Structure formats: structure tokens, C-alpha cells
Homo-oligomer: A and B are copies of this chain.
Amino acid sequence: MESFSGPDATTSDDGPPPPSPRARSAEARRDAILTAAATAFVEHGYGATSVDDIAERLGVSKPTLYYHVGGKQELLGASFTLALDAYSDAVEDEAVSGVTGRERLHQVVQKYVEITTTVHGRCLHRVPDVELTPEVRDRLRAVKRKVDARIRDLLREGVRDGSLRSADIRMSTFAISGAMNSIAQWYAPSGKLSPEEIAERLWDSFAEGLRPR
């Protein structure tokens, strides 16, 4: 059985103990590496994090990280890609089961907020896109366009079926995306509210607005 640490493993003396190597698939190993990388980027910033920091966090050697994912930019790109795949899937037709535009938009908000609170979601919104390779930056833009187009379509659908108010669709889309993305700036897994509760309260503020009814 391959060990978690990979072919060139040496365990850091002062780092945390490495996770048990047993029953870990290559994919699980990759996940653990990407989680550690994204956590470091979120906590200390991309520029201030070295591959050494990430290796130390995992208690593995630098060549192990290179073997499983690659250098710092590949680690960042792979973290972004995990979040982008999740966002892209979340707005697909089959991921949304509601009947009215309002119900379907509500579901998209729930899924989007949940992804945004994961470490890869937070990494995506906190590391500036100038740090990305052109390929990942293009993918980021494509997924942003896809999500925004989906929110706009659901707003229009809701206006048509009478479940949503007719308003400035473009600005409402920006407001919803902007508010959801900003969760990545303040969310901490140790906080009081679960991702589900955050999504519900945010949805209430979008849906009901500030004016008394």
C-alpha cells in the first residue's frame, strides 16, 4: 500500500503528525493536500504562503506535494477548480428542483452559499485572480458568467410566473452575487451560524427587502 506521504516522503520533525496512510486513495490524499493549501492561502494570503508552509502543515515533504499536485500555482489552480466545478454544477438544471422562479433561485442561493463557506470557496474569493494561470482565470470568468446568467434567468422566470417582483435584473444579480461572495471574507467554520442558517438569513434579506410590508 502506498503511504499518504508518497514516494519521497520525509516527515517534518516539528509539524503535526501526518494523517493515517491506511485506506487513503490517491484522491483522498490529493484532497487533504488541497485543503491544507487552500487553508494556508486563506489564513496567510497567497503571496505569504510557501510550498514549504503547506508541506509543514501536512507533515509531509515538498517533493510529495509536487508529486501529488504540483507547485504553488498548481495547488491554487486545483483549489479554484474544485470550487468552480461545484459552482458550475450547482446552477445546472438538474440541481434545481423548485417550481417557481423564486423557489429555484432560493435553491441556487442555498447551494452557492454552502460552496462559498468551504475552504475552496473562501480561497476562490480571497485570492485575487491576478495570481492565476490564464487557463484557470478563463475558467473562473466562464463560471462567473454561467452563474450570473443563471441568476438573471431565474429572476426573469420569477417575474414571468409572478413569484418575483419586476426590478433591475442586472443590478439585483450583482447585489445577490456580491452579498453571497462576501461571505468568504467573514465566514469562519468556528462561527455561530451554520452555512444553512447563513443562506436562509441572507435569502430572507434579499427576498423581503428592508421596507416594512
Contact = CB atoms under 8 A, between A and B. Distances in A.
Interface of A: 44-48, 102, 105, 126-128, 130-131, 155, 158, 162-165, 167-168, 171-172, 174-183, 185-186, 198, 201-202, 204-213
Contacts of A207: 209-211
Contacts of A127: 128
A145 B119 CA distance: 24
Most buried by B among A44, A163, A179, A208: A179
Given A128-B126, A177-B182, A211 B211 contact: no
Given A174-B182, A180-B178, A210-B102, A168 B205 contact: yes
Count of identical protomers in the assembly: 2
Given A165-B212, A181-B182, A205 B130 contact: no
| Overall SS of chain A's interface | helix
Contacts of A162: 212
B44 A165 contact: no
Nearest to A212: B165
A209 B212 contact: no
A140 to B, nearest CB: 12
A165 B210 contact: yes
Contacts of A186: 174
A165 B171 CA distance: 22
A212 B164 contact: yes
A71 B120 CA distance: 33
B167 A130 contact: no
